[in-house]
Every structure is written in structure tokens, then in C-alpha cells.
Amino acid sequence: MEASVVDLVSDARADRLDVLLAALVATCAAEGRVEPIPPDEVAHAAIEGWIQIPTADLESVGVSLAR
């Protein structure tokens, strides 16, 4: 099955968004600006992984939404 141009562009944009979000969350995690893992989930998170939730606003991570 062939992908349409719209599908390819959408996929590319989604990939770019994934990369941007991953970089922002990784930056916040490295700086300790994420919600802590609940104590009762630490062992589980060590095995399964954990989605870090940033506590920083975008501008403090160097992202400007101004055009």
C-alpha cells in the first residue's frame, strides 16, 4: 500500500513534534524540573520506564512561542 503525500508530510511533522517534545522533556528531566515519580511506583518505573511530566514553563527551557 502506497502512502499519499499528505500521509508522508503528516508523518514527518509528527516525527518532528516527537523529537521536539522529547528534547524538551529530557532537558527538564536533566535539570530536575519534572514531577517526581511517586514512591510506590519507583520500582515499577525502573523496569517499565516512566513518562516525566515537566514542571517548567516553555520559556524557562529556552522556547519562545513568539513569531
Contact criterion met (CB below 8 Å) for 35 and 52:
yes
pLDDT, residue 11, reads 65
67 pLDDT exceeds 80?
no
Give the angle 53-57-63 at the CA atoms, nearest 5°: 110
pLDDT in tens, 7-57: 545 666 777 778 888 888 888 989 999 999 999 999 999 999 888 889 988
pLDDT, residue 5, reads 47
pTM to 2 decimal places? 0.64
pLDDT, residue 19, reads 82
pLDDT, residue 37, reads 92
